[in-house]
Structure 1
Amino acid sequence: MTEAHGGYYVPHGSHWPLVGSVGLTTLVVGFAMHLNGSDIGLSTMFAGIAIVLIMMFGWFGTVIRESESHMYNEQVDKSFRWGMGWFIFSEVMFFAAFFGALFYARILSVPWLGGEDASTHALLWEGYSAAWPTNGPGAMGGVFETVGAWGIPAINTLILLTSGVTVTFAHWALKKNNRGALVGWLFATVALGFLFIGLQAYEYGHAYSDLNLTLESGVYGSTFYMLTGFHGMHVTIGAIMLAIIMLRSIKGHFTPDRHFAFEAVAWYWHFVDVVWLGLFVFVYWL
């Protein structure tokens, strides 16, 4: 049982963190196996995704039931805010690692191989001409074309920026206790999120089938799909969370003074927007 002792919240034991750890480990191991050509890599990865979704559904449900039963106090609200803040910080570091890999390859490794350092050029791959995007020395990554910035990526940028505005309007509506506007703006945000995902899926199909741009297309292909793919995963998770918040709003959850769950998802969504701006500039445009 969850209890409060002297105003301090003492949470009950939960198996959901263990389930989440198993799911994430299975997902990552399966993805690594798939990249290394294992026949069971994809099935293992999807099993991990399924476990993570089950964990999210179960854990979210537990927290929602406890919140609506008024089991949380101000101390819990503060701890939730700190927890969400540190979670977003960890996500910043996550994407910083991938952006760092992109910058290292583009600004340091490729110029070194291309002759910026004469000894490196002669010893590692003589005759390699530095260029970006690159398919690697000896054209090991095959012939490919890049995805232009001013097509679907520019449209998706507009979509995400617009969704950041609609979720802000939804927050204002909640603070004014305007339930109809709250649900309407949330519905618009969810629709824009899933539209982004659909367009990115179309872009991936075009890149693979028409441009021959794959994970094996040298360091450009691997960094392109790692950055955009993980961002797409975050958009998917964010859109699902926004849909849950919308359903909770329809059921009458949240008040102008108590709505941290809404704020947490809005923070996450704005973070996703900012990451995409970096992707659009450094992966598609420059």
Structure 2
Amino acid sequence: MANTQHATTQHYYVPSSTIWPFIGSVGLALLVLGIIRMLNQQGGTILLFMGIATLIYMLYGWFGEVIRESESRTYTRWEDRSFRIGMSWFIFSEVMFFAAFFGALFYARHLSVPWLGGAGEEANTHEWLWNSFSAVWPTNGPANVGGSFEAMPAWGLPTLNTIILLTSGVTVTWAHHSLKIGNRQNLIYGLAMTVALGFLFVGLQMIEYSHAYHEMNLTLKSGIYGSTFYLLTGFHGMHVTLGAIMLTVILVRSMKGHFTASNHFGFEAAAWYWHFVDVVWLILFVFVYWL
């Protein structure tokens, strides 16, 4: 009876206090402050890079501790269960994060712009707000804010990036299957291909941004279309970068012999995140580029 009770009430590992969350908060504060100052043309480059360096230091140190705990078999099925619940809630919060931005795009495109053009209101408010406004999407708003611009077409780099991300979803799934059947060589190949495709996506998006800024006059100042375009694609690009970094860490660990067919939640968490990034891009491609 005593042995049975002990087996069903295992000790849950509680890590000791750490300074890493504080260091991460400092890094984020420096990063955000640097970005704000740069957007307002007040310098901020030094603060930006200080924030990035601090965050890299925090991630290296904190991830290193977690990896050492995992490889020393500190975690049991109780920790594994809590990790899965935590990652599920994290991805759900990311879904809500992007839902807010897609909601902003919907509100601007299907409510605000038609209303400014005179649709759906009884008092003809548009007559005294801006009676010459043409409610056609894409728009930079009344008064042609930021000057004339070209909308980003769906075909070309956006379509190529869509193919790249869909392919990366296949390669990470192949890597996962290889891990579960004990084929470490294919696991490493699949992860390496996924990481390469992820960073290729980011590189092509940088080329797209350069083309938009210098040849299409599509900038953050191009009214509501420019704002929503860079808001959605920029945050998605940031998530792709983070996902590619996560998978790079998983690749290095796999090359060192970490993970087994029955114990590899670190891999699964990164794969879940990557599939989430893929799905968001498909939605983004349809509603930002295509429609």
Equivalents in 1 of 2:95, 2:26: separation in Å? 23
Identity between Structure 1 and Structure 2 (%): 66
**What does residue 188 of structure 2 align with?**
183
Answer with 1 or 2: which has the greater Rg.
2
CA RMSD of aligned residues (A): 1.4
1:1-286 maps to which residues of 2 (within 5 A)?
6-35=10-39, 37-116=40-119, 117=121, 118-286=123-291
How far off its partner does 1:198 sit? 0.8
Q: Tell me the TM-score normalized by structure 1.
A: 0.94
Q: Could you report, residue by residue, the CA deviation over 1:242-263 in whole angstroms, capped at 9, with x for unpaired residues?
A: 1111110000000000000000
Across the two proteins, how many residue pairs are aligned to each other?
281
Distance 1:201 1:191 in 2: 15
CA distance in structure 1 between the aligned counterparts of 2:27 and 2:134, rounded to whole angstroms: 43
Supply the AA of the counterpart residue of 1:104: Y
1:42 and 1:143 map into 2 onto residues whose CA distance is: 30
* CA offset digits 1:16-56 (Å, max 9, x no partner): 11222222233233333333x14133443333233222222
CA shift for structure 1 position 183: 0.3
Partner letter of residue 204 of structure 2?
Answer: L
* Gap regions ≥5 residues in structure 2: 1-8
Compute the displacement of 1:181 (Å): 0.6
User: Equivalents in 1 of 2:10, 2:137: separation in Å?
Assistant: 62
Deviation, 1:73, is 1.1
Q: Distance in 2 between matches of 1:212 and 1:43?
A: 28
Report the CA distance shift for 1:257/1:209 in structure 2 as closer, same or farther (over 3 A). Answer: same
Shift of 1:225: 0.5
The worse-fitting range, judged by mean Cα deviation, of 141-150 and 13-22 is: 13-22
CA distance in 1, matches of 2:176, 2:261: 9
Provide the rounded CA distance (Å) in 1 between the counterparts of 2:97 and 2:54.
22
Cα distance in structure 2, aligned partners of 1:43 and 1:145: 33
Unaligned 5+ residue runs, structure 1? Answer: none
What is the TM-score normalised by the length of structure 2?
A: 0.93
How far apart, CA to CA, are the structure 2 residues paired with 1:201 and 1:231? 12
Q: Any idea what the Cα deviations from partners look like across 1:187-230, whole Å, max 9, x if unmatched?
A: 11111111111111110111011101000000100110111011
Q: How far off its partner does 1:6 sit? A: 4.8
Distance 1:216 1:46 in 2: 25
2:48, 2:137 → 1: CA distance? 32
Change (3 A) 1:276 1:27: same
| CA deviation string 1:160-183 (max 9, x = no partner) | 001001000000000011110100
In 1, the alpha carbon distance for the partners of 2:161 and 2:152 equals 13
Structure 1: which 4+ aligned runs deviate by more than 3 Å?
none
